[in-house]
């Protein structure tokens, strides 16, 4: 039995019997891939929230399972739910961060004579600048860049998670890199 047929069968059996074991099988099959998709959208800044978003994805999928009538594949449907939940969460996170930055006083100057600590500090600043710049790259490019460079996912998996062809992922990577370079240039991080 193919994975798609198996998924459809598990959904049908769960809806008929309400036996959680069927739903658990779907969760076991998809939890890691959903986590990777959610992480790609949230990024390292919000990585600690990823598990909550994955939970919310499965809760929402569970509650809307009746409306999933098998017109699309279960996986594609679930990834779409996860992607939208993660995007919502990211938008809320960005708003919270903006408010926190607005209300925060000037950060204390960090002085250190430890060369290793200074190097770490510079690397930390550079990474933060990269993440801030990446957050300004439009979707789905920023998610694709994180999936490829952070999670190091193969093109085929990124394509599956985003519901596009592998060739489209390559084009997202091209455009995403170009957009990121433009943002970094505009912010003065690169010449």
Q: Give the footprint of another protein on this chain (CB under 8 A).
A: 20, 24, 27-28, 31-32, 35-36, 39, 44, 47-48, 50-51, 54-55, 58-59, 62-63, 123, 126-127, 130-131, 145-146, 149-152, 154-155, 166, 170, 173-174, 177-178
Residue 18 or 113 with smaller CB distance to another protein: 18
Beta carbon nearer to another protein, 139 or 150: 150
Question: Least distance to another protein from the beta carbon of 59, Å?
Answer: 6
Q: What is the smallest separation between the CB atom of 55 and another protein, expressed in angstroms? A: 6
Nearer to another protein, 55 or 118 (CB): 55
* Cα–Cα distance measured from residue 118 to residue 147, given in angstroms and rounded to the nearest whole number: 29
Tokens of 25: 């099988």
Of 12 and 128, the one with the shorter C-beta distance to another protein is: 128
Cα–Cα distance for residue pair 44/26, rounded to 1 Å: 27
Cα–Cα distance between 108 and 111 in angstroms, integer? 9
In degrees and rounded to multiples of 5, residue 39 shows phi and psi of -65, -40
In whole angstroms, the minimum distance from the beta carbon of 105 to another protein comes to: 27
Shortest CB 103 distance to another protein, Å: 25
Q: How many CB atoms lie within 10 A of CB 1?
A: 8
Shortest distance in whole angstroms from residue 130 CB to another protein = 4
DSSP state string for 4-42: HHHHHHHHHHHHHH--HHHHHHHHHHHHHHHHHHHHHHH
């Amino acid at each position: 039995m193919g994975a798609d047929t198996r998924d459809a069968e598990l959904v049908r059996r769960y809806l008929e019997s309400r036996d959680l074991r069927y739903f658990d099988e779907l969760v076991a099959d998809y939890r890691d891939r959903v986590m990777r998709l959610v992480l790609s959208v949230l990024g390292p800044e919000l990585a600690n929230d990823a598990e909550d978003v994955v939970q919310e994805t499965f809760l929402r999928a569970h509650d809307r399972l009746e409306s999933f009538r098998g017109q699309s594949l279960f996986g594609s449907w679930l990834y779409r739910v996860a992607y939208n939940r993660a995007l919502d969460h990211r938008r809320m996170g960005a708003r919270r961060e903006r408010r926190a930055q607005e209300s925060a006083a000037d950060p204390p100057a960090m002085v250190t004579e430890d060369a290793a600590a200074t190097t770490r500090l510079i690397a930390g600043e550079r990474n933060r600048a990269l993440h801030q710049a990446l957050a300004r790259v439009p979707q789905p490019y920023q998610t694709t860049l994180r999936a490829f460079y952070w999670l190091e996912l193969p093109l085929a998996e990124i394509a599956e998670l985003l519901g596009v062809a592998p060739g489209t992922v390559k084009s997202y990577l091209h455009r995403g890199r170009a957009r990121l370079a433009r943002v970094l240039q505009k912010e003065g991080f690169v010449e």
